[in-house]
Chains A and B, each alone.
Chain A
Amino acid sequence: MIWNEEYETLPREEIRVLQLSRLQAIIERVYTLVPYYRAKMDEVGVKPSHIKALQNIRLLPFTTKEDLRKNYPFGLFTVPMDQVVRVHASSGTTGQPTVVGYTKRDIRTWAELMARTLTAAGARKGDIIHNAYGYGLFTGGLGAHYGAENLGATVVPISGGNSKRQITIMRDFGSTVLLSTPSYALNLADTMVEMGVDPKSLALHTGVFGAEPWSENMRLEIQKKLNIKAIDIYGLSEIIGPGVASECAAAQSGLHIFEDHFLPEIVHPETFEPLAPGEKGELVFTTLTKEAFPVIRYRTKDFSRLRYEPCVCGRTCVRMEKVTGRSDDMLIIRGVNVFPSQVEHVLVSIEGVEPHYMIVVDREGTLDTLEIQVEVSEHIFSDEVKQLETLGKKIRADIKDLLGVSCTVKLVEPKTIKRSEGKAQRVIDKRKI
């Protein structure tokens, strides 16, 4: 089934016509209303009138997370605050968080896009949707929630955490669709086994998973353990949140980007030159209909490729391949974005700790683990066990406070962490994604 037959199956030529007129309008809008965008465009001598064809988008400067931070909190909004009905924000643990805003119409658009997503995944009115995405500043919970309501399904706004309770509710309420991160879905599957609940006895038929990269193998494992169809979705708060792209249950092969609202590009991660369809590179998005917070050529740092061929489901919108990596060193650990520089920042700010460290990420069973190895220098060494243990606890607590993710700390002997000759290698990611 297709939620919005008209827009999701537009002939490609019509999609392009629609995209061009919307692109022209959005460029005009940010140029007129946002001094920051105007200054950036003036710097390279581009005027809205230069956008005569879709490929003219390449004339425009990129927008990065740094640009969003510089304009913290509301500097890139194109409407007065009395028209902004909601804000969300990223965790923002180094520097400023990034804040995004929505008008009433933006919220309606988002609910439409999430209804499309859920429909593509196989959810219908009458489903009981167990929404285990976090509610709050994170876009996942509320984004999915409004979409599920728009769809006409029954939403169980359970948010994250307390797995046993989640399972009890799933069983008692007869939940049919699970929304969560893929790793949490596996965690729930294991907890079910511990509780003696047979996943096959539940009414679940579909899982809609996003917010972190996951492999085909993990999909097979989830599908088998929970006896459901596992669907990959993609979104990021800077663009709108969840609802940017979604797999369809029919093909489970690539995520349909809702192109009437977002214009995707793939660029070379170093030269930023546009790449041809099918080539792999960094995914860049321009929002075509957002009111409060449009973004122009936003560099996601996610690696993917675009496939324009028709899909068996009937949708004509382009498909992006499952995200397989990033152009920066950002790690996603249990759905939380972590940059190695944040870990370094924590270590340096604990007096005496020299930043000789290594971040080791692994997956134990179903959950990502984060270990921080810190070399014990003479400055931090003590002949008392208590002191060293206190140091470990302090690092752990500060990481948890600042990054929002728990870790273990391993104190290691000096010079045991490999020194690199070029760019410091700070991360060992043992997960097989």
Chain B
Amino acid sequence: MNTNTHNPSPHLSLHRDPVDEMLKADAAEHRDAYIDDGGFTLRVIDALPPRPQGVSLAVRYGIPFGLAALAAIVVTFLTDGGSFFIDAAMDISTSTLTASSFGFLVMVGAMLVLAATVARDR
């Protein structure tokens, strides 16, 4: 047994625990008995399937970033050269909740969540 955790102060023990000692002795013998590989590793490696490939980082993060950039471009064109962003910034600076400021905050929030996800995964 892992004595560091189970017996933090063995010297303070006033009486022996024969069951504990028997278990420790038997377990030590059990652990010392090395089982020869005997081709086991080779069998495991032969049986390994191709590991499922995770989606590459470029795809995983490129799609949401790309969509965000595309949305920003579309909004810029639809609002006469970005007046949406200017309106939203003005509304936020005056603490006024309008459709523009709300939409802007949602966009910023989504980008922050995405950035946090990237940071956690790295």
Instruction: Report whether chain A binds chain B.
Output: no
| Chain A positions near chain B (C-beta within 8 angstroms) | none
| Chain B positions near chain A (C-beta within 8 angstroms) | none
